Structure 1
Amino acid sequence: MSHIDIEVKRIKEKLLEMWDLVDYQFQSGQQAMSAIDHELAAKVIKLGKKVNDYDVKIDRMSENVLALFTPVAIDLRLMLATLKINSSLERIGDDSEGIAYFVQKLEKPLDAELVEATKTHEMYEEAKAMLADCRKAFLYDDTELAKQLIKRDKTLNKIYAKADTIIANAITANPAKVSEGLVLFSIIKKIERVGDQITNIAEEIIFYRDAKVLRHKKKKKKKD
């Protein structure tokens, strides 16, 4: 195994360690929200420092490979993709922390009917599944799975698009629910952002393996 192969292997292992930590943060955010567990929410927030440490470490390792080995072709694409994937994972960690901060503002469980109407848990479950599948796509260089993830993000977007109207109607009917409604919508927005970051990672996997840039790609208009 060449020196660059050894370094690349180390970076991928470190990235997967960070991935597992971020995944734990995101899953714990849902548990804290469901049980209004302030202690768990505080743990999610505290783990943010560890995620940031991984972020800095992986960036430095990747930059060293670029500087010392001047990789080309697939190795170069992997390093460039790793830098962006690392950034997206760090942002998912930030969004998980954000959810935990909102949970800490709650003194009692969110209105069950409103949570169900907005499909918050359904959205959360899909985002968790997408994050797990995205890890598989990265680990096994599965570009087909990565492409599926980009399509699946539409499910999260649809739920998010309807949530504000549902919450606004609930607040109008009962003004006492203003604070609770705003917290719930903020959590939903964080979950939607996680979906966006997963999409970004999926695009980088495709770039790395297939040398195709999908970011900001416009859909071709259908011919009349």
Structure 2
Amino acid sequence: MPNRSSLDQELASLRGLIADMANRVDEQFANAMNALLQGDVDLAEEVVAGDDAVDALELRIDEQCERILALHSPVAVDLRMLIMAVKINTDFERIGDHCRNLSRNARYLVDAPGLLADTRLPKMADMSRTMLREAEMAFLENDRLKARKVIARDLQVNRLHEETFATLVEMCEDGHEQSEVIAHLLTVSKALERISDHAKNIAQSIVFMVEGQDLRHRGLKDDPDAPDLPPLDESAAGESFGEEV
């Protein structure tokens, strides 16, 4: 029967894999924004190609989680660690997807290098990447306070996205000659906003791991008028969209 030492080694391996994922995604993010700002299509293609490595690492982390669950049946803090690992693994992979999508816009900005720099997008990118790196440090250090700071920063990115979106839409409505480029910048703004959301999700998962407190949908927990979930219909177990199983 696996012992405590074996479980600790498996968890340490899992933490190492997640740290590798965080570093890889952070590099993807930096390269994606550099490709956009510099109009570097070759670098953008490297980011797109690098997404396969992120996906492969996601699968490896999932396999490690499944291994720990099967061999050790973890409980308490160890189980929270495992739940958190599954969630943040998905968030990191989604950030990688957004980095790939950011890079795919680079070729459309080559003929308008100054347009992106004139928006709030570089500041959004800096703040989103700061959130990502601080979330990584919070994970490595089991630091719930750093994680909570990441959560608070998300509101600032959301405001920048709203400002940028309004500015770009106004430019289109005024008949800006580079309306196609502006459309791609709207896509960039939304991708950056989503990256910050995933960084916030990672931070929330870290708080859950350290404190055992779920910060998602806090308003529902405090709202006496929040709808109750219907009871589970056990007779429907095994059914899937009307198909026979």
**Residue 215 of structure 1, CA deviation:** 1.1
**Residue 170 of structure 1, CA deviation:** 1.2
**Residue 7 of structure 1, CA deviation:** 0.3
Q: 2:147 — aligned with what?
A: 146
Q: 1:57 — aligned with what?
A: 60
- Is 1:133 aligned to 2:147, yes or no? no
TM-score w.r.t. length of structure 2: 0.86
Ranges in structure 1 where 5+ consecutive residues have no aligned partner = none
Distance 1:127 1:153 in 2: 8
Distance 1:100 1:145 in 2: 29
**Residue 121 of structure 1, CA deviation:** 0.6
Distance 2:33 2:112 in 1: 12
**Residue 218 of structure 1, CA deviation:** 1.0
1:202 is paired with a residue of what secondary structure?
A: helix
- Is 1:161 aligned to 2:166, yes or no? no
**Residue 163 of structure 1, CA deviation:** 1.8
Q: Give the AA of the match of 2:25.
A: V
* Greater Cα radius of gyration, structure 1 or 2: 2
1:67-78 aligned within 5 A? 67-78=70-81
Question: Does structure 1 conserve the Cα–Cα contact (< 8 Å) formed by 2:108 and 2:181?
Answer: no
2:219 is paired with a residue of what secondary structure?
A: coil
Question: Does structure 2 conserve the Cα–Cα contact (< 8 Å) formed by 1:84 and 1:201?
Answer: yes
**How many residue pairs end up in the alignment?**
219
**Residue 162 of structure 1, CA deviation:** 1.9
RMSD: 1.5
**Residue 184 of structure 1, CA deviation:** 0.7
**Residue 56 of structure 1, CA deviation:** 0.3
Ranges in structure 2 where 5+ consecutive residues have no aligned partner = 224-245
The CA deviation string for residues 152-206 of structure 1, in whole angstroms up to 9 with x for no partner, is 0001000111222211211222342210111111101100000000010000000
Distance 1:9 1:177 in 2: 51
Q: 2:8 — aligned with what?
A: 5
Residue of 108, 111, 115 corresponding to 2:111: 108
The CA deviation string for residues 139-162 of structure 1, in whole angstroms up to 9 with x for no partner, is 000000101111100010001112
Residue of 6, 16, 24 corresponding to 1:21: 24
Question: Does structure 2 conserve the Cα–Cα contact (< 8 Å) formed by 1:32 and 1:103?
Answer: yes
Question: Does structure 1 conserve the Cα–Cα contact (< 8 Å) formed by 2:120 and 2:160?
Answer: yes
**Residue 131 of structure 1, CA deviation:** 0.8
The CA deviation string for residues 85-117 of structure 1, in whole angstroms up to 9 with x for no partner, is 0000000000000000111333324444x643x
Question: Does structure 2 conserve the Cα–Cα contact (< 8 Å) formed by 1:35 and 1:109?
Answer: no
Question: Does structure 1 conserve the Cα–Cα contact (< 8 Å) formed by 2:165 and 2:189?
Answer: no
2:216 is paired with a residue of what secondary structure?
A: coil
**Residue 127 of structure 1, CA deviation:** 0.8
Distance 1:110 1:213 in 2: 43
Distance 2:17 2:73 in 1: 21
- Is 1:43 aligned to 2:46, yes or no? yes
Distance 1:167 1:130 in 2: 24
TM-score w.r.t. length of structure 1: 0.93
- Is 1:66 aligned to 2:69, yes or no? yes
Distance 2:199 2:13 in 1: 22
